[in-house]
Every structure is written in structure tokens, then in C-alpha cells.
Structure 1
Amino acid sequence: MAKILNITPAAAERIKELAVSHVGQRLRLSVVKSGCSGNGYDLSFVEDAGPVDEKVCEHGAEVLVDSKSLLMVFGMTIDWKEDRFGRQFTFENPLEAGRCGCGASFHM
């Protein structure tokens, strides 16, 4: 059975680093309306989990997945990339049908 969400070791380390400054909060992944393709990913620290959020733990990091977004991120991989142009979380989602020209938003 496929996993809800895959977290790479690099992403897990970054999540754990960020969690240090967000004591008492948990990282939550949601799909929000955004950009020219219609959808975007939102990673936010929240005080409380939603009543039906899914909890994913991998490599010592925890991410809550918004229940409304669950079907849109099933099987997705979150990674942390650093290069000379910047540092950011990346999302590889096998359910995406395409992305906008700048890559900031996607459609299904």
C-alpha cells in the first residue's frame, strides 16, 4: 500500500530544525487555492491538529496532513533542496497534471 506522504531525510532534518523555534506547534501540510494553475502547497505551524488530520512520521519528523487535502497529496514526496540559487522545500506529487510556468502552482 502506498504511503500518504514521503519525507526525505533532508526534509526531515529541516523540519526538525524549524520545530525548535515553534515549541508546542506542529507542521501541517495543506493544498490551498493559489497561483495561475489553481493550487499551491502550504506548510504552516499550527497549535492544534484538525479533528481528522493524518499524522505522518518519518526520519524523526512529523507532518500533519489536512484531511481536505489528503486525496490531492497521496503518495507525494517532500524534500529539502539547497543550491546556489536558494533553499526550499520541494514537492514531487505523482497526482499533479501540470504546473504553471514559474512552477509555483499546480493543477490536477
Structure 2
Amino acid sequence: MVCDTDPARLTIAMLPIRSADLILGKCVHFNVFPKVFRRWISAGELNTLKTYAPKLRSEPISTKSLNGNAKLTRKTSARRFNFPRKNVISITPVAVDKLKELLLSQDKLLRIGVKQKGCAGQSYSFEYVDQPDKFDEIVEQDGVRVIVQRRALLQIIGSSMDFKDDDLQSRFVFSNPNVKSTCGCGESFVTNNP
């Protein structure tokens, strides 16, 4: 690919300066997701990039043309990427009401996990914890915060959590798209993910 020779035509939305960005001669490669832009820069612009590089590692900058007169301005966002994230599991309104009832009596959080148990191999587990572990996923829905254990993410991602109350028992049930098979009693399951 040939570098663009007209610097006035190139505008970059975000300019993350990282060690992954390559400077080859006077042709700079900007790794900007999802495209890679390349163009020729002057020695003055190269010095400007080197000056701003330590400051730009922590957060993105706003859209600006990179000719010699443009100023780099920072966004006010504290996070590097502020994309909306979809919850790992969805919780039905009935389950939300039951979780609110359970968590009101406890001053803790509820962690959902998967344990080796039952005739099929895996079973859902629930435990109260004071705070999430470092890599646990926090799911917030309708004012309820539930933690999904890091080791259980691949087994229950995309699941829907519901609460069933019938004549025999009251329990949380999961509609899990990752389940390959269940045991006869329905208490344990096998997933597609190891």
C-alpha cells in the first residue's frame, strides 16, 4: 500500500500512539480500529507526535487533521473506549424481584458460578460474597447486581435466568444456549465449551 502524499486529505478519528504503531522512515502507520491509515509526514509532525505520545497513551483525542497547524485536543472521557456492553446473562423480571428480595436481607452480592457436580458433570452454584474477584463479570439489570464467576463465563454466556415457583420447589432456572445435554433429573448439564 502506498502512503498518501497529501496530508490535507487525511483526517483521523482517534490517534492511539502505542508501541504497536510503527514509524518506518517518514511513513507513519496509525493502527486505528478497524482500518490502518498510512501517510507521509514531515519531520516537524514526527517531533510533534513524539512529544504527544506519552500523553496520548491513556486516552483518545478528538478528530483533527494532522497538518502542522492543528492542535490535539483531549476528550473528557475517563475510559479509553466507552462502548456499551451487553450483559453476559439476562435476568427476567420475576427473577429480578426474587433477587431483590434475597439481596435485601443480605448485605452482600450474589455470585453465580458453575461447579463439577451431578451425573452430567456441571451444575450451577450460588454463593454470597462481599466483593467481586478481580476478573468476575458484574451484571446489573433493573437495580440488581449479580456477579458471574470468571471460570463460568464460557459455560453460561448468553443465558437467561428465571425464577420458577411450583408445587414441588422454588428455584432459579437457566435457559442456556451452550448446553449440549442434561441429566435425567435436570440438575446437571454438559456444555459445548470446556
**% identical aligned pairs:** 36
- TM-score of the two chains, using structure 1 as the length reference: 0.93
TM-score (norm 2): 0.53
2:105 alignment partner in structure 1: 21
In 1, the alpha carbon distance for the partners of 2:187 and 2:99 equals 20
**Which structure features the higher share of strand residues?**
1
Residue of structure 1 in register with 2:174 after alignment: 91
1:1-108 maps to which residues of 2 (within 5 A)? 3-23=87-107, 25-108=108-191
What is the number of equivalent residue pairs in this alignment?
Answer: 107
Q: Distance in 1 between matches of 2:163 and 2:142?
A: 13
- Aligned-residue Cα RMSD (Å) equals 1.3
1:3, distance to aligned residue in structure 2 (A): 3.7
* In 2, Cα distance between equivalents of 1:71 and 1:3: 13
How far does residue 85 in structure 1 lie from its aligned partner after superposition? Answer: 2.1
**1 or 2 for the larger relative contact order (CA 8 Å, sep ≥6)?**
1
Report if the CA contact (8 A) 1:2-1:75 is conserved. Answer: no
Structure 1: stretches of 5+ with no match in the other structure: none
Higher helix proportion: 2
